């Protein structure tokens, strides 16, 4: 413990110094991000991907060598964050120029389609849609109530009608989260699914999705089952080959991630689809 007596005025002076340092850092950060945008334009013109691991290693080695050893780890962590933000901004710039059509997120119930879809749409500056919400608007009732009322066969027909209406009228580009059963809907032909755009399968562990679902209450197709987890696992196992066959790309999410990190990974996956090999 320090023997220096507490001095409020000294503390205020130090805080003012920190505020001044922050005021100087922010314009530099903005200039760096603007420069990253120009880098993205060059990569777009050259039709090359954003990721350059060798370049990142050079930068991090230089940073560690430029600071006292006691700050090296923290400085590297700071610059890893800056580099991640820079790469994401570059990918957004490239995707905004080359994407053109829609991005459709598919996967098992509660895999995070809406959460990631909303964040991706915000990053790209495009509208977000959810086929379950569109179906609810068409039917005038929640999807769970509709399912209980009309049964699965009729529900799938209504779902297919909603998807067709969306494809015919929704703007491009856009992001859309697909209901868990859309890609396995027998009322939808393969060409109708392809018309949705680039389909990305969010592959998450079944226990993770089940835990999220259990917090909100089981849907009708599980509510009366003696073993809801077993039934959900069976359904998911049956749909995995369908998701894999329908998807243009796969985003594996083996662990729960902050939404920003998950979106960064999604941007990386999408970039690989729009950059010509």
3-state DSSP of 183-194: CCCCCCCHHHHH
**DSSP secondary structure code for residue 126 in this structure:** -
Least confident of 50-54, 115-119, 258-262: 50-54
pLDDT band at 64; cut points 50, 70, 90: very high
How far, CA to CA in Å, does 60 sit from each of 31, 74, 117?
19, 11, 32
The residues, ordered by sequence, that sit 6+ positions from 161 with a Cβ below 8 Å of its Cβ are 138
* 225 band by pLDDT with thresholds 50, 70 and 90: confident
Whole-model pTM: value is 0.85
CA distance 194 to 104: 10
> pLDDT tens across 10-40, in order?
999 999 999 999 999 999 999 999 999 999 9
Please indicate whether residue 110 or residue 40 has the higher confidence score (pLDDT): 40
What is the average per-residue pLDDT within 154-177? 94
Structural domains of the chain, with CATH: 8-95 (1.20.59.10), 100-274 (3.40.50.300)
Name the helix (H) or strand (E) containing 175: strand 174-177
The gap from C-alpha 153 to its chain's centroid, in whole angstroms, comes to: 31
CA distance 232 to 222: 7
């Amino acid at each position: 413990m320090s023997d220096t007596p507490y001095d409020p005025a000294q503390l205020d002076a130090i805080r003012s110094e920190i505020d001044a340092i922050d005021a100087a850092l922010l314009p530099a950060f903005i200039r760096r991000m603007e420069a990253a945008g120009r880098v993205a334009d060059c990569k777009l013109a050259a039709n090359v991907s954003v990721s350059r691991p060798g370049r990142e290693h050079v930068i991090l080695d230089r940073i560690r060598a430029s600071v006292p050893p006691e700050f090296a780890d923290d400085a590297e962590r700071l610059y890893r964050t800056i580099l991640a933000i820079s790469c994401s901004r570059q990918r957004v710039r490239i995707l905004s120029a080359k994407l053109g059509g829609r991005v459709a997120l598919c996967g098992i119930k509660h895999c995070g389609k809406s959460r990631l879809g909303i964040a991706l749409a915000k990053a790209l500056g495009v509208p977000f849609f959810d086929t379950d919400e569109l179906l609810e608007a068409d039917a005038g009732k929640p999807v769970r109530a509709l399912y209980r009322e009309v049964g699965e066969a009729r529900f799938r027909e209504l779902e297919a009608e909603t998807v067709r209406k969306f494809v015919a009228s929704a703007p491009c580009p856009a992001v859309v989260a697909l209901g868990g059963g859309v890609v396995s809907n027998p009322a939808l032909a393969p060409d109708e699914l392809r018309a949705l755009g680039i389909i990305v399968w969010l592959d998450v562990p079944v226990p993770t999705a089940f835990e999220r679902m259990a917090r909100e209450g089981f849907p009708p197709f599980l509510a009366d089952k003696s073993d809801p987890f077993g039934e959900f696992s069976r359904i998911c196992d049956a749909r995995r080959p369908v998701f894999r066959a329908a998807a243009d790309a796969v985003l594996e999410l083996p662990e729960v991630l902050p939404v920003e990190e998950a979106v960064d990974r999604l941007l990386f996956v999408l970039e690989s689809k729009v950059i010509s090999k």
